[in-house]
Structures are given as C-alpha cells and as structure tokens.
C-alpha cells in the first residue's frame, strides 16, 4: 500500500494545505497503520513543498519509522535532482516516481511525439538510477493510452533501470475488467523484457469505481495499490485508502490493526478542512448508529447476549470492532420503545414507564434523531414534574 494523501491528496481544489506539524502527525499515523510507503511530496512544485518533503524525510530517519518514502517528479532532470538532494541530506533512500503523459489525448494537446516521450523517459530514469535512486515509472492516463505507446514507453523505462511500473487511471476511466486487463498487459510486457518489475495501481474515482478497480488490479497481479485518506485528491479524488484497507482486511488479503483508522481520517479531515460525511462507510458517525426500531431491537438483543460479534453482524457489513468502533443505539422518529430503554440503561439512568413514554412521544414528534442534550432535558422535565407531585401530596396530608 502506498499513501498519497500528502501529495496527490493535496491537489484537491477544496483542501486546506496542512502545516508541517499536521503533516508530521499524519505521517506517524500512516506509519502506525502499517502502510508500506508514503509519498512525501512533489519537490519540483516549489520551495514550501520541497522543504516539507525534506522535513518529513528527516522525521522518518530520526524516528526510524518503518514506512518507506517516495517523491514525485516529472521526467525532468531538475525535478529528479531535487529528490536526490533531499535523500542525501536526510540520509534515507527515497524512491523516485517519475511520471509522463501517455494517452493520445495528452500527446495531442501537448504536441508530443512518442519518440520524444521515449527519449525523455530513458534520459530521466537513467539519470535517477545513476544517482542511486530506485525508480517507479509512471505513465499518466495509462487506462486511455494505446497499447503500442505503452509498450514503447514501459520497455524504455525498464531497460533504463526502473524497478516498478505504475499504471494510472488518472481520470477514473477504468472498469474492473479494464483494470485487470491493463495490469495483465504490463505484466506480460515486463516478462518480455526479462525482468521482475513490480506493478503499481493508482486510481481515481470519477466514476465511483476506485475501490473495486484497485481490488481487481490486485487480483490481476498488481503488487502495490495507491490511495488517499477519505479519497481526497484532484476533482472527485483518489481511491480512499481507508476503505481499501477495510476491504482488503475483510477479504483476507491483509492482516492489519485498523483500530486507529478513524483517528487517521479525523486528523486528515481537520488538517485539510474536509468534513467526513455522516454516512461515510466504516468511519462516518452514522456507520454504526441505529435508530430504526426493528433494526435496533435486533442489535439490542444481540448485545444483551453479551455477543459483540453477533451485534456487529446483525445489520453491519463491516465489524465495528475492526475499526475501533461499537454499535450505537439512538432515538428518533423511527425508533421503538426498546431504543429508549436501552439508551437509558447505557447511560446508567433510571428506567420508568413514564420517562420512557415521554421520551418516546417526543421522538415520534421530532423531525430528527434526538440529541443527548434534548433527552436530558426531557429527563429533567419528568423529574421536576414528579418532584412537584410529591411535594403537593406531602402538603395535602399534613
């Protein structure tokens, strides 16, 4: 897995660029999730990004983090040289992701010839390898490129010393079958070159198929998948690495502790100014919240059996425990009395017919799920009413 949050994720027009302190926190959370590699920036963009990339590289070295660093670069010597310098000053190897456009659309717009792209590829990768960098060669818009051009470019890159080939679905064009087909094509091409080149898959979600495309690429032979926290990135974003992790663990492709996945997403959300939708799978606040009476009743029965796994399975496709969460029973217009009773018990509050009836009636009249404060106000009203009745009765008997 390769986390692109701190590079491609920040290309979203809506994100706020994190401070270096926030980037460092995100870096440590990425490492804590057991992610293999992290893109720490695109130094060729400008001074601030270059300085941040170097600071992150020093953090990896100083704290002896397990995650491996990489940086993006155009197939330009100046871009690659900046990565070499950061690697040397930080004292750690940094993988170079050298990218170039490959599709007919891009070549037409830029006026590039295939011969020119081939020459730039050979020159850039040969330089990076001579300078001691491992190189992943990235063809932009791979899924819309023609096979002939891809064969020439990847062959040139592999012969120049690239150790990995990255397939990019730059505009979210691919289908699952298409993702598998292009991975198989590149794998066969690498065999023809007589080398064991690793294959990366970098997908976007313009058509909403990023996660399934990544899984399809993996099953076809891709050995590293890219993604970003919450799927942030250019236009509608990249493959959500959080949801990809959840699915790969559930499908037993990976064994990972995901109990801090919510913290990772929350930190990125705050740092980038991107709110987490309530219904976001596994991470959103509604992922394991239940208000509907029939559903809640079943979950409550499972919880009363002291069987958390059963409670997670009744109405959840993802185990709440997997991501450090638990089932949450709330009270709203669609709730039953069992919701109210369970809520009171969970908050260690006394249960009475009058109190349950009052809360239940208020919920049925409401147009939303009752907030805790609203429920506490109802409890206070009932207590005051019952206290008043008690005082009246006492006065009349004296």
Q: What is the rounded distance in angstroms from the CA atom of residue 101 to the CA atom of residue 150?
A: 10
243 touches 279 (CB < 8 A): no
Q: Is beta strand 328-329 parallel, antiparallel or unpaired with respect to 289-290?
A: parallel
Q: Which helix (H) or strand (E) holds 385?
A: helix 372-396
Q: How far apart are CA 80 and CA 211, in angstroms?
A: 31
Residue 160: other Cβ atoms inside 10 A: 19
Regarding whether 305 and 246 lie in a shared domain, the answer is no
Whether 397 is covered by a domain: the verdict is: no
CATH of the domain at 234: 3.20.20.70
Burial class of 194 by CB neighbour count within 10 A (0 to 12, 13 to 18, 19+) = exposed
Answer yes or no: is 279 within a domain: no
Distance spanning both ends of the chain, measured CA to CA: 78
What was the pLDDT predicted at 193? 84
Query: Six-digit token pair at 24?
Result: 């460092």
366 within a domain of the structure (yes/no): yes
CA distances from 184 to 56, 170, 174, 279, 392 (A): 35, 18, 14, 35, 83
SS3 280: coil
Q: Helices marked H in the chain — which ranges? A: 20-32, 47-62, 77-90, 104-110, 114-130, 147-160, 176-192, 210-220, 241-250, 261-272, 293-304, 308-314, 337-346, 353-365, 372-396
pLDDT of residue 372: 93
53 lies in the same domain as 188? yes
Same domain? For 224 and 88 the reply is: yes
Does residue 94 sit within a domain? yes
Q: Are 213 and 203 in contact (CB under 8 A)?
A: yes
Choosing from 220, 243, 272, the residue where a domain stops is 272
Half-sphere exposure for 346 (CA within 13 Å, toward CB): 16
Any domain includes 280: no
283 in a structural domain: no
267 & 293 share domain? no
Angstrom CA distances, 194 to 152, 189, 190, 357, 390, stand at: 15, 9, 6, 75, 90
**What three-state secondary structure class fits 398?**
coil
Q: Which of 272, 301, 329 is the last residue of a domain?
A: 272
Same domain? For 44 and 92 the reply is yes
**pLDDT, position 390:** 55
Residues 233 and 312 in one domain: no
In this structure, are 240 and 308 located in the same domain?
Answer: no
- Which of 272, 302, 334 lies at the terminal end of a domain, its last residue? 272
Res 387: pLDDT: 77
Distant-in-sequence, close-in-space partners of 360: CB < 8 Å, separation ≥ 6? 331, 335, 337, 340
Pairing assessment for the beta strands 37-39 and 68-74 based on DSSP bridges: parallel
Write the DSSP symbol of residue 66: S
| Distance from C-alpha of 300 to C-alpha of 281, rounded to nearest angstrom | 21
The answer to whether residues 221 and 369 belong to one domain is no
**Which helix (H) or strand (E) covers residue 178, if one does?**
helix 176-192
The one-digit pLDDT tens for each residue of the chain (398 residues) are 999 999 999 999 999 999 999 999 999 999 999 999 999 999 999 999 999 999 999 999 999 999 999 999 999 999 999 999 999 999 999 999 999 998 899 899 999 999 999 999 999 999 999 999 999 999 999 999 999 999 999 999 999 999 999 999 999 999 999 999 999 999 999 988 877 899 999 999 999 999 999 999 999 999 999 999 999 999 999 999 999 999 999 999 999 999 999 999 999 999 999 999 999 999 999 999 998 888 889 999 998 998 889 989 988 999 999 999 999 999 999 999 999 999 999 999 989 998 999 999 999 999 999 999 999 999 988 888 877 765 443 334 43
169 part of a folded domain: yes
Same structural domain for residues 105 and 188?
Answer: yes
**Same-domain pairing of 197 and 323:** no
| Total of domains in the chain | 2
Q: Which domain holds residue 220?
A: 2-272
Strand stretches in 255-394, DSSP E:
289-290, 328-329
Q: Left if phi > 0, otherwise alpha if psi is -120 to 50, otherwise beta: which for 330?
A: beta
Rounded distance between C-alpha atoms, residue 213 and residue 172, angstroms? 9
Say which residues have a Cβ less than 8 Å from residue 55's Cβ, sequence separation at least 6.
20, 23, 24
3 with 228: CB under 8 angstroms? Answer: yes
Q: Are residues 210 and 304 in the same domain?
A: no
- Around Cβ 350, how many Cβ atoms within 10 Å? 9
CB-neighbour burial class of residue 172 (10 A; exposed 0-12, middle 13-18, buried 19+): buried
125 within some domain: yes
Enter the pTM of the model.
0.91
Residues 157, 227 within the same domain: yes
């Amino acid at each position: 897995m390769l986390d692109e949050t701190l590079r491609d994720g920040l290309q979203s027009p809506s994100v706020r660029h994190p401070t270096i302190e926030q980037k460092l926190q995100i870096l440590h959370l990425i490492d804590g999730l057991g992610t293999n590699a992290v893109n720490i920036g695109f130094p060729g963009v400008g001074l601030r990004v270059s300085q941040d990339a170097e600071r992150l590289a020093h953090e990896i070295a100083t704290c002896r983090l397990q995650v491996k660093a990489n940086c993006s670069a155009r197939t330009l010597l100046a871009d690659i040289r900046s990565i070499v310098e950061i690697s040397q000053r930080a004292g750690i190897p940094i993988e170079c992701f050298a990218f170039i456009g490959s599709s007919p659309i891009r070549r037409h717009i830029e006026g590039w010839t295939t011969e020119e792209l081939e020459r730039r590829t050979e020159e850039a990768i040969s330089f990076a390898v001579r300078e001691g960098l491992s190189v992943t060669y990235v063809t932009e818009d791979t899924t819309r490129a023609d096979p002939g051009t891809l064969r020439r470019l990847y062959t040139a890159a592999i012969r120049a010393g690239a150790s990995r080939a990255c397939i990019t679905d730059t505009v979210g064009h691919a289908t699952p079958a298409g993702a598998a087909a292009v991975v198989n094509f590149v794998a066969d091409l690498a065999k023809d070159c007589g080398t064991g080149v690793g294959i990366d898959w970098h997908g976007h979600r313009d058509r909403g198929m990023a996660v399934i495309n990544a899984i399809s690429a993996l099953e076809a032979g891709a050995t590293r998948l890219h993604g970003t926290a919450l799927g942030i990135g250019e236009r509608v974003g990249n493959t959500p690495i959080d949801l990809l992790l959840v699915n790969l663990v559930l499908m037993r492709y990976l064994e990972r502790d995901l109990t801090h996945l919510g913290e990772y997403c929350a930190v990125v959300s705050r740092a980038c100014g991107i709110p987490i939708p309530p219904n976001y799978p596994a991470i959103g606040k509604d992922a394991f919240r239940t208000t509907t009476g029939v559903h809640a009743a079943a979950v409550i029965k499972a919880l009363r059996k002291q069987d958390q796994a059963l409670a997670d399975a009744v109405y959840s496709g993802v185990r709440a425990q997997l991501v450090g969460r638990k089932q949450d029973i709330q009270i709203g217009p669609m709730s039953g009395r069992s919701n109210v009773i369970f809520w009171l018990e969970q908050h260690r509050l006394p249960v009475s017919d009058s109190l349950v009836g009052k809360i239940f009636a208020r919920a049925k009249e409401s147009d939303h799920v009752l907030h805790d404060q609203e429920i506490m106000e109802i409890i206070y009203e009932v207590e005051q009413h019952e206290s008043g009745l008690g005082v009246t009765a006492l006065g009349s008997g004296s």
